[in-house]
Chains A and B, each alone.
Chain A
């Protein structure tokens, strides 16, 4: 994801979680044969239509989750770096706002 100058051991549970949040909608949309069906209907909508509309909403939720996961992860890595280099060169731009 955010590549660049990341410290070793960059695969953290939080980053993995964010990756899954990003992959899930992609897989849900690409798997066309699984949802190309009229039933079950919901409020008059064939499955094909309401499935995709609901995935829009789920995608929105997953993107918030991914954003927060990345943010918390960035803060933690910053802390780790700060304790590793107490001198604090102030150039910790590698992590900010990821």
Chain B
């Protein structure tokens, strides 16, 4: 059974029409969102950057869902199953593990951030450990890790454009023009509406995504001859040995030695997710401490959907697509599958779901990166007496800058490098875990030890990730690498975190032994448990309160 895209050249008119219409709709919504639930001082960074910290359970569900459901999960996760099989399914384990973690530590971060008016994780680190340098390290890591993540959202949009027949021919300017236009609109509504824009668009986005996935997991298997056939087709295709390496591409079960890579990818990614500033933003923007915990169980619906999205990769195999027929880019698997399977009007809706699903996280990420720059670089190092209005202005401009940086990234480098840098970003961001999550529970660790551990983890992770080569790529070819002195592979981020923790513990003992000056803690232990509901967040307290 082979149902292949006819490879028809030219623009797919109906699909394009549907995508453009829905895009215009969400753009209007994005601009209108500026007036939505407006309460406090519009010039304050809390308003633009955290939606006034006013979001209840319902909106939070959509907003955090926006962090989880990016173009990356919609495009790259199924592409990974398409290309290598079972190992790519770690994404489901990862999105299971993330919820217990959220349940445990995010309420504490919420409480302390609300009490002290922290907008970014680096704000918290500065207040808790009393170290501007450590806070700078956290902020820079956050920005560096987020940039390629935004770039990846664009890669998702690009692959939709490719499948619709735009961007596969003609001059390179005409090829990139639609992406450019989409981007300018995204940048404009994020600038005017701040976090309210992605929060409002997230409704439309999720509606489209849920419709698409429900239809896809019922309709496509029916057309392809059922799930049994899909899994056996995938298993057969993945077992074919590559002519260059003489090894099978993968399998539908984990090969020998892949259990630890699978488990560490799941754990490492789960621990890393809420270290990303854009993921924390959804939590800090909530009205009450209990909102997050109450929401966790409902948020698992996203994980379930993600599991089915991942299996679209196998459906693409069963539909007869090969890497070659996808223009040598597995990332096109899902858009091409939608294009081939659905009638063109519904393919248009499904492709819009991917495009709009890329816009929401791109907006949240650029806001998060902008907040980090403003609070932890601009205010701390450039203009300490910046007023809230000035901070908001800087954040707005930086959000534009970050997005155009990501655009330059995608246009200047190829899509593969965007994905490589995103993988590297995951390795880097996990190294902030001890300072942030550790800091929520204990001040046992000295600020300089945390900084040394961070540096060791970053250097080790970056070097090892850079060294990974394959037949087609010289660097960043794999997320997993051999653990030193063993024959066992594991996720690089997790190995780097172990290096980080070893350096942290050893240097901590030394620093405590020589009585190095500890930083001043601006927080009190009761700050981590409280639940303010009516109190307005005050200015950031970086100095201890005189209580």
Contact = CB atoms under 8 A, between A and B. Distances in A.
B34 interface: no
B104 interface: yes
A93 B527 CA distance: 9
A67 B227 contact: no
B89 A52 contact: yes
B107 A2 contact: yes
B267 A97 contact: no
Contacts, number: 139
B297 A60 contact: yes
A73 B300 CA distance: 24
Contacts of B290: 71, 97-98
Contact of B311 (A25, A49, A57, A60): A49
Interface in A3-52: 3-5, 22-23, 25-26, 28-30, 32-33, 36-38, 41, 43-46, 48-49, 52
B292 to A, nearest CB: 10
A94 B289 contact: no
Interface in A56-98: 56-57, 59-61, 63-64, 66-67, 70-71, 93-98
Interface in B516-531: 525-526, 528-531
B95 interface: yes
B197 interface: no
Contacts of B86: 36, 48
B259 interface: yes
A43 B103 contact: no
Interface residues of B, number: 51
Nearest to B95: A56
Contact of A33 (B227, B259, B530): B259
B289 A52 contact: no
Nearest to B294: A67
B231 A44 contact: yes
A60 B100 CA distance: 10
A50 to B, nearest CB: 10
Contacts of A2: 107-108, 528-529
Given A44-B226, A53-B307, A5 B103 contact: no
B304 interface: yes
Contacts of A29: 93, 96-97, 263, 266
B301 interface: yes
Interface of B: 86, 89, 92-93, 95-97, 99-100, 103-104, 107-108, 226-231, 252-254, 259-260, 262-263, 266-267, 288-290, 293-294, 296-298, 300-301, 303-304, 307-308, 311, 441, 525-526, 528-532
Interface of A: 1-5, 22-23, 25-26, 28-30, 32-33, 36-38, 41, 43-46, 48-49, 52-53, 55-57, 59-61, 63-64, 66-67, 70-71, 93-98
